[in-house]
């Protein structure tokens, strides 16, 4: 029952075949290991770690930890559960799975085209194994990496995964640990990288028992938008998350992790802070593989993404670039409610700056918060930014989960898609986007009782200030109930739509763009990066260039509905969508050109 490299948290097989069960419970003077039907006393050290070492532990053995008052709780580092998040944990044998692709080292991030998916709604079955049958479709599309929304076990059967409470246990509704390994193995067989979204900023509202025996796991002085903040300055807490990152990368062989909302992973007292320590240990532990660590961070900072002289990241690889999405969404849809207010003015110049320099906000004051946001990012290579027109957040956090094609004219979406696919930034698609999916992706949960009611009402309050609702109780009541099974079922993507005329058009469009990216853009990204430049930007048109050691890549786009005077432009651009020539660039036209040094 080898569990990868030695860890502080979770069961570990020792050299003599015995198994060590450990839990950090500083609030408890004594703890008992309940292994199957036997209670075994645990030894406590001065730091609050309790341990029991047991011989001949069988694969699949049930175990839990019993508090002094008699309450049995699951292992917070359980690798599988016998049932739901309240049930006993299971001993897992990670040597039982025989890998078919032993030598997979991953791929350089310059080659990344990321496809984000939710396991439960990507297929009718909603399982790890069902995804395997769809991998040929993704490989043929031109995707090079799939990114799973969080799979750590959460309460109930259905949910987005961001309220997980057992970060080491794959969610049983999706499949077993070995079935998740089969998915990773199959992705590698198709030449695909596979990334995992992990949540280190909070625990979900149901099934987290840490406060019962380790209250110091949490920081009483701080709250996150989702609950109690975590005390990362304490060594057992740091190890819980650092070991979790290594567990997914080492034991399950994921090629990378996307860390959710790290602006709420705050550790100012530590040197190094937990995020730096995590990235450094990953780099140190797995030097032979292409491992990619991605962040979501509303602060627009660059300190966590330093790069070596050769351009390789030394800590985190890339940042989800919300600024790109937000300004593109405002350009496409005209919506300026909520956080879109920050992108309501100077939209095209903002998009041009993002393409050339990375972030849109680089220290300017946000109109929404009244505070300065961001820092200069022009020195970052373009592969430090992951751009998208849609993702789970930006679609699912709408009241009705509408896709972009339901909100904006198709010619505009096509033009923005060309920019997304062919800029030097790393593109990300959200499942179904490749065939122009129209089904919504809604926010859904599987809670009961008061918690279900609180989530439903909280969801409606969230949209009360939006112009479309204007505190209209009747309108708010039509927002889909997150806990209704129908909300989940309506969010499944429609694979049959691929065969429609519209679906076939979008599939061909994406395939053409991603083939072009692989052939023309990716080789440039492996050369020396020398900076980006906004050459022109006004109300509807932009011109941006990116300099590499071997020449310059340039993009011109007219995102208006009227023709414009065009800049001087090469006669044989790499690609043009729309019309450009004779001094004119047509509506919703994008052209990409290459000039050698």
Catalytic residue ranges:
260, 296
Looking only at the bridges linking them, the beta strands covering 43-44 and 227-230 are: unpaired
b/e code 6-29 from CB counts within 10 Å (16+ = b): ebbbbbbbeeeeebbbbbbbbbbe
Peptide bond into 372 cis (omega under 30): no
The CA distance from 346 to 327, in Å, is 9
Q: Which residues, listed in sequence order, are joined to residue 533 by a DSSP beta bridge?
A: 545
How far is C-alpha 123 from the geometric centre of its chain's CA atoms? 19
508: tokens are 């061909």
DSSP 404: G
The CA distance from 346 to 331, in Å, is 10
DSSP 544: E
Q: Could you tell me if 432 and 404 are in contact, meaning their C-beta atoms sit under 8 angstroms apart?
A: no
Q: With left for phi above 0 and alpha for psi between -120 and 50, is residue 175 left, alpha or beta? A: left
Helix axes 274-285, 235-250, angle to 10 degrees: 40
Helices (H), 517-592: 522-525
The CA distance from 478 to 476, in Å, is 5
| Residues near 273 by beta carbon (within 8 Å), at least 6 away in sequence | 232, 267
Q: Could you tell me if 73 and 212 are in contact, meaning their C-beta atoms sit under 8 angstroms apart?
A: yes
CA angle 159, 161, 166 (to 5 degrees): 120
SS (H, E, C) 406-436: HCCCHHHHHHHHHHHHHCCCEEEEECCHHHC
The CA distance from 597 to 594, in Å, is 10
| Residues near 594 by beta carbon (within 8 Å), at least 6 away in sequence | 520, 551, 552, 553, 554, 570, 573, 574
SS3 of residue 502 by DSSP: helix
The total number of residues written for the chain in this structure: 597
Closest CA to 261 of 228, 299, 227: 299
Closest CA to 444 of 163, 177, 153, 67: 163
| Residues near 283 by beta carbon (within 8 Å), at least 6 away in sequence | 291, 314, 315
Torsions phi, psi of 478, nearest 5? -85, -5
Closest CA to 99 of 169, 188, 171: 188
134: tokens are 């769809």
Q: Could you tell me if 125 and 133 are in contact, meaning their C-beta atoms sit under 8 angstroms apart?
A: no
In the Cβ-directed half-sphere of 248, how many Cα atoms lie within 13 Å?
30
């Amino acid at each position: 029952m080898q569990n990868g490299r030695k860890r502080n948290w979770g069961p570990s097989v020792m050299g003599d075949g015995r198994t060590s069960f450990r839990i950090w419970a500083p609030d408890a003077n004594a703890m008992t290991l309940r292994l199957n039907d036997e209670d075994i006393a645990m030894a406590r050290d001065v730091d609050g770690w309790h341990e029991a070492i047991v011989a001949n532990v069988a694969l699949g053995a049930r175990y839990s930890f019993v508090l002094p008052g008699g309450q049995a709780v699951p292992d917070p580092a359980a690798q599988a559960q016998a049932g739901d998040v309240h049930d006993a944990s299971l001993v897992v044998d990670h040597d039982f799975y025989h890998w078919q692709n032993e030598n997979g080292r991953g791929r350089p991030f310059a080659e990344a085209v990321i496809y984000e998916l939710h396991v439960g709604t990507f297929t009718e079955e909603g399982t790890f194994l069902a995804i395997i049958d769809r991998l040929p479709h993704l490989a043929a599309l031109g995707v090079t990496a799939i990114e799973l929304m969080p799979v750590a076990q959460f309460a109930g059967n259905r949910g987005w995964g961001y309220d997980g409470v057992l970060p080491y246990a794959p969610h049983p509704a999706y499949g077993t640990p070995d079935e998740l390994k089969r998915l990773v193995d199959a992705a590698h067989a198709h030449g695909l990288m596979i990334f995992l979204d992990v949540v280190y900023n909070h625990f979900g509202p149901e099934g987290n028992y840490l406060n019962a025996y380790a209250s110091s796991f949490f920081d009483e002085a701080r709250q996150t938008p989702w609950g109690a903040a975590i005390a990362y300055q304490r060594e057992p807490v740091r190890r819980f998350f650092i070991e979790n990152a290594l567990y997914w990368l080492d034991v399950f062989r994921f090629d990378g992790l996307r860390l959710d909302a790290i602006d709420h992973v705050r550790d100012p007292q530590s040197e190094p802070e937990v995020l730096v320590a995590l990235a450094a240990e990953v780099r140190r532990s797995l030097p032979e593989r292409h491992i990619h660590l991605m962040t979501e961070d509303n602060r627009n900072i660059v300190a966590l993404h330093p790069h070596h002289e050769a351009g390789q990241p030394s800590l985190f690889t890339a940042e989800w670039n919300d600024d790109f999405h937000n300004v593109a969404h405002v350009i496409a849809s005209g919506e300026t409610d909520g956080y879109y207010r920050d992108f309501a003015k100077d939209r095209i110049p903002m998009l041009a700056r993002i393409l050339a320099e990375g972030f849109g906000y680089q220290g300017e004051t946000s109109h929404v918060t009244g505070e300065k946001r961001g820092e200069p990012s022009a020195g970052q290579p373009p592969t430090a930014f992951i751009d998208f027109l849609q993702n789970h957040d930006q679609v699912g956090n709408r009241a009705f989960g509408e896709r972009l094609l339901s909100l904006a004219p198709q010619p505009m979406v096509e033009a923005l898609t060309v920019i997304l696919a062919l800029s030097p930034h790393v593109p990300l698609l959200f499942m179904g986007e490749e065939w122009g999916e129209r089904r919504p992706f809604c926010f859904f949960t599987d809670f009961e009782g008061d918690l279900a009611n609180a989530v439903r009402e909280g969801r409606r309050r969230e949209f009360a200030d939006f112009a479309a609702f204007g505190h209209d109780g009747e309108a708010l009541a039509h927002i889909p109930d997150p806990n209704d099974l129908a909300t989940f079922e309506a969010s499944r993507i429609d694979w049959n739509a691929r065969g429609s005329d519209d679906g076939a058009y979008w599939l061909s469009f994406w395939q053409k763009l991603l083939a072009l990216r692989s052939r023309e853009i990716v080789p440039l990204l492996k050369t020396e990066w020398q900076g980006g430049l906004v050459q022109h930007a006004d109300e509807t048109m932009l011109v941006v260039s990116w300099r590499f050691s071997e020449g310059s890549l340039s993009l011109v786009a007219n995102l208006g509905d009227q023709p414009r005077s065009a800049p001087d432009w090469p006669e044989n651009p790499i690609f043009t969508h729309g019309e450009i020539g004779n001094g004119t660039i047509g509506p919703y036209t994008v052209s990409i050109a290459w000039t050698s040094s």
